[in-house]
């Protein structure tokens, strides 16, 4: 097991080579986001990640979170690390100064979050949910709710949670049973929620639950769902804490991974009824909750990158130390071609994911700060299109990279003592979180492609065509390879998109059967465009570093992006064999 080192050099390269930070720094409100400030932030965040979070990752996995008499105790070192995180102002980086935020771009906020999750996945999930709660209240809360809750959530002194899932409902939020009955200026909430990440713990003074529930006369299904603030402790008008609300953790889930993250079954209203406050209008709760969910989907996509980076670092370091080979000719295993293939697959995938996530988050910053409403609208469409790709492709790749990390270690990777298998176990929840990746693929195809007839995809394809033109203008071997494979991948994506619009728009079985391979095709292609942009920007300022970037991009083109064209067949032809298979034949 090796320590974690924040990949600050790679982070800076992604921001600068893709032109992200320079483009944001000229926007109103972001002029302080200079390279010097960025570098200082990343250096200090790296210290917190390396010195406080990483050392308690392995021990936290062994110790886990513990429920004792209704109180959840976090693993040793977690509470202290969180206190340092809040004291350092890290939670407030990207939030509105009106509520105590620092007003910096999400780009910088996500970069620091990458470090938290890489260093300690279980711990890093807590701030991700609080971030979503802040976005939800900022967009939909009343002035009184914002005044009462936002400052403490922005600082991280309180954390937020998302309470959607119930035992009988699963992903079908419209089937929930949790009830909300109006009582004066508030509601009484009664019911149970499961799989609530960081639903109860000892790291903050208060926990602000965002809870979906149904009022007595609400319509059936998702149209009858309302959203409520349900604080663990009541909040007095002056912001001080009052009495305990009727909401408790009744059990902790026994999970495959993220053992130090308390995943709770929460019971609301076992006594007098939990006091809740309506956000927005009755029966419009799911619309409000999607603000938090979309923020969380980008955050969970980031966890795919983060765990992949951690797994790569450990596999790389092990491969440089482990000696094995034919008798009389032992070498470190990094010299074996197949081990190099695995390590390069990990490295190239991590760099493609990082660039894609930073790119999308920068578009999110444009939606907040650009003075031109048309530019903001186009950026919003871009973020909406790419959010399911970030969430699903990056978390799928996180699992695959973590699995390769185990494989590089060989038999020792399967032993808990090395820590490699923890990364795989921790990674496996991410494709399920915040709408399974199958749901993300369905969202991409139905809401993002078919709804506008593929227009937003066409706009994104034009961006990639610009990259292809730049590649074509250079005869360099690496750029030629990138041009060949990126062009083929984009042609395949455009062909698949046209087919979905013309052939599958009125045929749900066709569209949904090919949704997952379509999303993977999209992710591979988007990652290829990111790697191409990085290769184009690599120069001789730091010869070895930039040569490595170009070679990594070359590997991505030949070994990963080249797989994209094979996905057209299951997109177009997969439904017949899927639908034809009778239920009793399984």
Query: The domain that contains 183 carries what CATH number?
Result: 2.40.110.20
Domain finish residue from 269, 284, 299: 284
Q: Is 356 a domain residue?
A: no
What distance in Å separates the CA atoms of residue 156 and residue 138, rounded to the nearest whole number?
Answer: 15
DSSP state of 214: B
**If you average pLDDT over every residue of the chain, what do you get?**
95
* Residue 231 forms part of a structural domain: yes
Q: How confident is the model at residue 444 (pLDDT cuts 50, 70, 90)?
A: very high
Asked if the structure places residue 44 within a domain, the reply is yes
Looking at the fold, whether 243 and 167 belong to one and the same domain comes out as: yes
**What CA–CA distance (Å, rounded) separates 532 from 489?**
13
Query: Does 498 map to a domain?
Result: yes
pLDDT at 352 over 90: yes
The label of the residue with tokens 């609208």 reads 377
Place of tokens 């894609």: 356
What is the CATH classification number for the domain harbouring 78?
A: 1.10.540.10
Predicted confidence at residue 151, as pLDDT, reads 98
d(CA 487, CA 469): 10
pLDDT digit string, tens, across residues 249-296: 999 999 999 999 999 999 999 999 999 999 999 999 988 988 898 889
Q: Which domain holds residue 191?
A: 158-284
Query: Where in the sequence numbering do the catalytic residues fall?
Result: 434
Tally the domains of the chain.
3
Task: Name the percent of the chain lying above pLDDT 70.
Answer: 99
Say if residues 4 and 49 touch (Cβ distance below 8 Å): yes
Inside any domain, residue 346? no
Q: Are residues 67 and 130 in the same domain?
A: yes
Residue 33 included in any domain: yes
CA distance 558 to 344: 11
Left, alpha or beta for 77 (phi > 0: left; psi -120 to 50: alpha)? left
Q: Is residue 361 part of a domain?
A: no
Q: What is the pLDDT of residues 528-545, one digit of tens each?
A: 999 999 999 998 667 899
Which of 229, 259, 284 is where one domain is finished? 284
Buried b (16+ CB within 10 A) or exposed e, 435-473: bbbbbbbbbbbbebbbeeebebbeebbeebeebbeebee
Is the domain of 468 the same as that of 495?
yes
Instruction: Assess if residue 130 is contained within a domain.
Output: yes
Is 273 found in the same domain as 167?
A: yes
Strands 263-268 and 247-252: antiparallel
pLDDT for 14 equals 98
Instruction: Please write the tens of the pLDDT for every residue from 197-228.
Output: 999 999 999 999 999 999 999 998 888 999 99
The end-to-end CA distance of the chain, in Å, is 42
CB half-sphere exposure, 482, CA atoms < 13 A:
34
Helix, strand, coil % (nearest 5) of the chain? 65, 10, 25
Among the candidates 262, 284, 306, a domain finishes at 284
Q: CA 159 to CA 533: how far, in whole Å?
A: 38
């Amino acid at each position: 097991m090796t320590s974690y080192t924040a990949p600050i050099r790679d982070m800076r390269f992604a921001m600068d080579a893709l032109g992200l930070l320079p483009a944001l720094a000229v926007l109103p409100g972001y002029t302080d986001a200079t390279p010097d400030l960025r570098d200082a932030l990343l250096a200090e965040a790296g210290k917190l990640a390396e010195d406080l979070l990483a050392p308690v990752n392995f021990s936290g996995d062994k110790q886990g979170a513990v429920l004792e008499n209704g109180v959840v105790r976090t693993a040793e070192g977690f509470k202290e690390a969180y206190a340092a995180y809040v004291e350092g102002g890290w939670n407030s980086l990207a939030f509105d100064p009106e509520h105590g935020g620092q007003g910096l771009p999400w780009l910088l906020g996500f970069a620091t979050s990458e470090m938290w999750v890489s260093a300690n996945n279980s711990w890093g999930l807590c701030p991700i949910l609080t971030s979503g709660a802040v976005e939800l209240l900022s967009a939909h809360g009343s002035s009184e709710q914002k005044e009462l809750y936002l400052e403490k959530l922005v600082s991280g002194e309180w954390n937020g949670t998302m309470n959607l899932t119930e035992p009988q409902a699963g992903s079908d939020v419209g089937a929930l049973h949790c009830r909300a009955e109006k009582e004066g200026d508030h509601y009484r909430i009664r019911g149970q929620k499961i799989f609530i990440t960081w639903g109860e713990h000892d790291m903050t003074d208060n926990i602000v639950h965002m809870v979906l529930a149904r009022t007595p006369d609400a319509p059936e299904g998702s149209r009858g769902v309302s959203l409520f603030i349900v604080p663990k402790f009541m909040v007095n008008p002056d912001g001080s804490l009052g009495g305990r609300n009727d909401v408790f953790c009744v059990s902790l889930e026994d999970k495959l991974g993220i053992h130090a993250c308390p995943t709770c079954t929460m019971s609301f209203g076992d006594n007098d009824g939990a006091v809740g406050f309506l956000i927005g209008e009755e029966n419009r709760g799911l619309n409000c909750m999607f603000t938090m969910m979309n923020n969380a989907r980008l955050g969970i996509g980031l966890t795919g990158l983060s765990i992949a980076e951690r797994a790569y670092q450990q596999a790389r370091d092990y491969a440089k130390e482990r000696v094995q080979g034919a008798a009389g000719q032992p070498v470190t295993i990094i010299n074996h071609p197949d081990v190099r293939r695995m390590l390069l697959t990990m490295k190239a995938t991590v760099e493609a994911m990082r660039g894609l996530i930073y790119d999308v988050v920068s578009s999110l910053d444009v939606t907040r700060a650009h003075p031109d409403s048309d530019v903001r609208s186009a950026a919003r469409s871009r973020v909406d299109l790419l959010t399911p790709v970030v969430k699903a492709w990056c978390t799928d790749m996180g699992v695959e990279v973590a699995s390769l990390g185990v494989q590089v270690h060989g038999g020792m990777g399967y032993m808990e003592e090395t820590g490699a298998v923890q990364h795989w176990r921790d990674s496996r929840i991410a494709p399920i979180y915040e709408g399974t990746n199958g749901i993300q693929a369905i969202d991409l195809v139905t809401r993002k492609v078919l709804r506008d007839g593929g227009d937003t995809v066409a706009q994104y394809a034009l961006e990639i065509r610009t990259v292809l033109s730049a590649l074509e203008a250079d005869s360099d071997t690496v750029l030629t390879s990138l041009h060949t494979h990126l062009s083929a991948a984009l042609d395949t994506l455009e062909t698949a998109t046209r087919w979905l619009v013309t052939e599958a728009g009125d045929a749900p079985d066709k569209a949904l059967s090919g949704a997952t391979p379509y999303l993977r095709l999209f992710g591979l292609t988007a990652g290829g465009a990111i790697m191409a942009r990085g290769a184009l920007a690599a120069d001789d300022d730091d010869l070895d570093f930039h040569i490595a970037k170009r070679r990594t991009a070359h590997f991505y083109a030949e070994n990963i992006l080249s797989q994209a064209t094979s996905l057209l067949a299951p997109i177009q032809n997969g439904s017949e064999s899927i639908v034809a298979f009778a239920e009793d034949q399984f």
